[in-house]
Amino acid sequence: MKIEVKGLTKRYGKHKAIKNLNFIMDQPKIYGLLGRNGAGKTTFMDILAGFNVQSDGQLLINEETPFNNRHITKNICLIKENDNFPEEMKVKHIFKMCRILYENWDQGLVDELVQVYRLPIHKKLKTYSKGMASAVGIIVGLASNAPITLFDEPYIGLDAAGRKTFYDVLLAQYEENERMIVLSTHLIDEVSLLFEEVLILREGELIVHETADELRTRACRITGDVDQVNAFIEGKQVLEEKQIGHLKTVTLLGARSEAEAAGFEPEGVAIQDLMIYLTEKEGA
């Protein structure tokens, strides 16, 4: 599947939720879609899944628009943080309906994950806890085997063990059946190692679209004597500065090799920290 985004803009009244996005996603990879609250991640995913329609620009999947196009949407499964399924429906009925609607449905995986998450599937979704309801969404997302699977904060209320199971199954499934998985989350530290490519949105604009490896080496953190560090950072792009006594820690964009040459021992910066810096700083 090839996703082409050309000048994509979505307006709600005078407010622009996403502004002139341009990029291509054409590889079966695990993509991280990151950004602060209100950055436009959910709006983008809604348009991608055909839930909503853009105000300007184009979003094409294999040269076709997804809105009201079953030919495309049958290949997409979007699981959001809540309200994916009717609360008054029994969970076994939700699975039964999805089994018909998703062509590559993996019932074996459903049965397995129902056991793992200990879900009473004969009960209605409204009787489930938040974590269990999230597990239902996760199961549908994984079992759909949709060539484009989108997870938008899918594990609200799910405990650490439940989330770990999700990551493990996601990876195992991905290895078995390579597909495009887009994961939007605020628990970046937990999942950053899964990402192969990262997109960061800030106030509706795409500010980063890089491979995760590139992004990890994009910034570094150095610590040293205040005067030495101040001299080194002169003219460089500083993301964050912290000083305790005579020791100063600075996070820099790029300049890793220069820091090594200058005698510092540069440390890597977690994607989560980088995302925070990039979405806070102007002109990043």
Partner 1 sequence: MMTELKGTFCGLFLQYRFTYLVFWLILVFFISATFIIVFFIDGIYSVITLSAPLYILSIIMPWLLISQKNKYLTVYHLVKSSVSRLGVYIGIGLFFLFTSIINVLIVQAIKGVFGLIFTYENGTVSYVKGDSSYILTDIISYSSIQTSIWQELIVDFTIVMFLTVVSVVFATIFNRFGKVVGYSIVGSIVILFIIVMSTGTANETIVKTVSFIVDRAGFYYAYIVILLSIFIFCFNYIFLRKLVVK
Per CB under 8 A, residues contacting partner 1 are 46, 49-53, 68-70, 73-74, 76-78, 84-90, 93, 96-98, 100-103, 126, 146
Nearer to partner 1, 93 or 186 (CB): 93
184: which strand partners? 33, 152
Q: Which one, 51 or 167, has the nearer CB to partner 1?
A: 51
Q: Hey, how many other C-beta atoms are within 10 angstroms of the C-beta on 63? A: 8
Q: Judged by CB, which is closer to partner 1: 58, or 257?
A: 58
Give the shortest CB-141-to-partner 1 separation in angstroms.
Answer: 12
Read off the tokens for 1: 């599947």
Instruction: Find out whether 201 and 207 touch, Cβ atoms under 8 Å.
Output: yes
* Minimum CB–partner distance for residue 146 and partner 1 (Å): 8
DSSP 16-81: EEEEEEEEEE-S--EEEEEESTTSSHHHHHHHHTTSS--SEEEEEETTB--TT-HHHHTTEEEE-S
Angstrom distances, CA of residue 3 to CA of 22, 63, 150, 184, 185: 11, 8, 13, 17, 20
Report, in Å, the least distance between residue 284 CB and partner 1.
Answer: 31
Give whichever of 101 and 247 is closer to partner 1, judged by the CB atom.
101
d(CA 135, CA 154): 8
Q: In angstroms, give the least distance from the CB of 143 to partner 1.
A: 13
Closest separation between CB of residue 188 and partner 1, Å? Answer: 25
- Of the pair 144, 165, the CB lying nearest partner 1 is at 144
